Structure 1
Amino acid sequence: MKFFVGVTDNNWYKYLANEKPDEVNFWQPGGKQAFRAIETYSLFLFKLHSPANYIAGGGFFVRHSFLPVSLAWEAFGNKNGASDYYSFSNAIHRYRSTNPRTEPDPVIGCIILASPFFFEESDWIPVPDDWSPNIVQGKSYDTGTLAGRRLYQQVQERLTRMQLSTSEFERVCETDDSRYGAGHIVYARIGQGAFKVLVTEAYHRRCAVSGERTLPVLEAAHIKPYSQQGPHSTNNGLLLRKDLHTLFDRGYMTINEDLHIEVSKRIKEDYGNGREYYAFHGRKLIETPDNIRDRPSIEFIRWHNENVYRA
């Protein structure tokens, strides 16, 4: 099984170790090279910058995405490893050696990690013997090698000592010839920030109803709200233009099980207008995810129709 050790900004680590969030954005200032080193839900470890040659924590890889700094902040806030947008933006510009005035909102790489964990300093793990000081971004390891297996076991020992609750991690037992091996921790719960990015990418950065592609005005909507036990899963999401998101949440718009749009007559009754929105009525969604499992769940559509939509 492959996992990854990423070289980590020490200030980023210290801030998040104190906050202990449910997810983090392990950002890359360059914003050009996609991260494909490991599979979804694989282990991603934090290696502190030299001279602190230790592995101090990690998380579970959810997705890589390219986002403008402003949208990364909108999605993750202080889970980007900074207390405010100004500090976050400045940290990125320091790495890029660019001027915020000439490049105010650069695109960065976002490695989204679920359920991050942070070791006490006494539990930090010295880097493996084969770690080179010339490594800039990180290195992949495999449990099929001696170094990889030993490091993975050291991480498991520390996670066990931390007594992580079963609500945080899902453990699955597999046969010896499975991809992960018996008792491997496969993944943790997806957070709000990851949900936003997963839905945005699943819908190809395009509003499902209008086809709008202007990223700053698009939002990931829950079909069944999180406050009503709706999950942060892609099949409970739609990517919508902001005004359409508002109408959807307030029951003036919905979709049916065939993914056709329905617009309530209550818009005209309540506001005496809505011509633009009624033009969508009866149309099929313009954009849907390629993966059938990511498309809107009938269960959540029915819930929205029965509990939110003003027919």
Structure 2
Amino acid sequence: GTTDDEKVRYALRRERLGQQWFRKQLVAAYDGRCAVSDCGVSEALEAAHIENYSGPKSQVASNGILLRRDLHSLFDAHLISFEPVCGEYRLCGSYLLDKTDYVSFAGATLRQPNECQWRPNTVFLEAHRIEFDRSEKKREKAGLLPY
């Protein structure tokens, strides 16, 4: 039979392939450009999960956004999120970023793919936004100062 080691290796390989497929889908959906900054440098772009990665079912384009690596990090840390404004999504940033270059992205439109099935799932975006608000309250309560 297969050893535990082999099982783990196989699972990791499958996960990596899933990740590659996820990235490929998003690169195609967003025409190889960041959905916020419009950066087209492929090495600087990452496939961001909106809802935390939880196996193959989370590797669908509607659970992802193609983002520049730094914006992906801020998104994962709930330092930026997106809020619905007049039928589109706009970037909202934490007060912690007020004195940084990132303030220029405040209110930026989240560019969405033309194909409906590639577009970010609004339920996931809403959940991310709720988490952002919760994190923001915690940061204020802890008295964290802007960068």
> TM-score with structure 2 length normalisation?
0.73
Q: Deviations over 1:163-211 (max 9, x none)?
A: xxxxxxxxxxxxxxxxxxxxxxxxxxxx222111111111110001100
Equivalent position of 1:284 in the other structure: 109
Deviation at 1:266, TM superposition (A): 2.3
Distance 1:223 1:245 in 2: 10
Query: 1:224–1:304: 8 Å Cα contact kept in structure 2?
Result: yes
Q: Which runs of 4+ in 1 moved over 3 A?
A: 18-21, 227-230, 308-311
**Is residue 2:83 matched to residue 1:256?**
yes
One-letter amino acid matched to 1:280: F
Q: Is the 8 Å Cα contact of residues 222 and 230 (structure 1) preserved in structure 2?
A: no
Tell me which amino acid in the other structure corresponds to 2:89.
Answer: L
Matches within 5 A, 1:180-199: 191-199=18-26
Question: In structure 2, how many angstroms separate the alpha carbons of the residues matched to 1:288 and 1:216?
Answer: 21
Asked if the contact 1:251/1:308 (under 8 Å) is kept, the reply is yes
One-letter amino acid matched to 1:255: F
Equivalent position of 1:239 in the other structure: 66
Pair member with larger Rg: 1
What corresponds to 2:34 in structure 1? 207
Instruction: Identify which of 226, 229, 235 aligns with 2:53.
Output: 226
- The one-letter code matched in structure 2 to 1:253 is I
User: Contact (CA 8 Å) 1:234, 1:295: kept in 2 or not?
Assistant: yes
3-state SS of paired residue (1:240): strand
SS at match of 1:22: helix
Q: Are 1:22 and 2:7 matched, yes or no?
A: no
Mapped contact 2:80–2:132 kept (Cα < 8 A): no
* 1:228 shift after superposition: 9.6
Q: Secondary structure at the match of 1:207?
A: coil
Secondary structure of 1:261's match?
strand
Distance 2:14 2:56 in 1: 17
Q: Which aligned pairs between 1:63-212 and structure 2 lie closer than 5 A?
A: 76=16, 191-212=18-39
**1:255 CA drift (Å):** 1.0
Name the counterpart of 1:298.
122
The count of aligned residue pairs is 123
Give the superposition deviation at 1:308: 3.9
User: Partners in 1 of 2:91 and 2:68 — Cα distance?
Assistant: 14
Counterpart Cα distance in 2 of 1:220 and 1:253: 16
In structure 1, the residue matched to 2:131 is 307
The 1:228–1:193 alpha-carbon spacing in structure 2 relative to 1, beyond 3 Å, is closer
Whole-Å Cα distance in 2 between the matches of residues 291 and 244 of structure 1? 23
> Whose strand proportion is higher, 1 or 2?
1
User: AA paired with 2:131?
Assistant: N
1-side partners of 2:105 and 2:97: how far apart? 13
Q: Assess if the C-alpha contact under 8 Å between 1:262 and 1:281 holds in 2.
A: yes
Unpaired stretches in structure 1, ≥5 consecutive residues: 1-17, 24-75, 80-190
Please give the alpha-carbon distance, in whole angstroms, between the structure 2 residues aligned to 1:198 and 1:263: 27
| Per-residue CA distance 1:119-166 (angstroms, 9 max, x = gap) | xxxxxxxxxxxxxxxxxxxxxxxxxxxxxxxxxxxxxxxxxxxxxxxx
Q: Given that residues 48 and 64 in structure 2 are in contact (C-alpha distance below 8 angstroms), is that contact kept between their aligned partners in structure 1?
A: yes
